[in-house]
A = this chain, B = another copy of it.
Amino acid sequence: MATVRRPGSYVCGIDAAMDVIGGKWKVLILWALNERPCRFGELRRNLPGITEKVLASHLRELEEDGIVHREAYDEVPPRVEYSLTALGVSLNAALAPLGAWGRENILGGAYAHASARETAAPTAT
């Protein structure tokens, strides 16, 4: 997933954006980071089922795309904090209507029972 590096290959803004958030866990990471900056392990705990490799690679891609900021502290024990950049915040805002749509049309109604887990997420859309 080379993400955004395909100048000229996009036919509209949406598929360009899809390329940025195209990873299986990308939007969930954005989601988790939306409320507050997180450390690596903290993030991992907030995303049940994700593996370290995938989390690390997704974070790197998001960082390359200017969506998340990575702040490493040279301490012992090592500490790294991830947070959203201004661009990341704006992306999240742009994602909000889509999240609302999913809630309304997929989670809502027949699948409403899933909403219980939803409270574990940050602010919710």
Interface of A is mostly: helix
**A interface residues, how many (CB within 8 angstroms):** 47
With an 8 A cutoff between CB atoms, is A56 at the interface?
Answer: no
- What separation, in Å, do the CA atoms of A118 and B87 have in the docked complex? 23
With an 8 A cutoff between CB atoms, is A57 at the interface?
Answer: no
With an 8 A cutoff between CB atoms, is A98 at the interface?
Answer: yes
Q: Which of B12, B17, B21, B100 contacts A94 (CB 8 A)?
A: B100
With an 8 A cutoff between CB atoms, is A11 at the interface?
Answer: yes
For chain A, residues 14 to 52, give those with C-beta under 8 angstroms from any C-beta of chain B. 14-21, 27-28, 31
The reply to whether B125 and A12 contact each other, CB–CB distance below 8 Å, is yes
Within the complex, the shortest CB–CB distance from A29 to chain B, in Å, comes to 11
Chain B residue numbers with a CB within 8 Å of A27 are 14-15, 18
Chain B residue numbers with a CB within 8 Å of A93 are 97
A-B contact pairs, 26 of them (CB 8 A): A7-B113, A8-B111, A8-B114, A8-B117, A10-B114, A11-B120, A12-B28, A12-B31, A12-B99, A12-B103, A12-B107, A13-B102, A13-B104, A13-B107, A13-B118, A15-B27, A15-B28, A16-B102, A16-B103, A17-B98, A17-B99, A17-B106, A19-B106, A94-B97, A95-B97, A95-B98
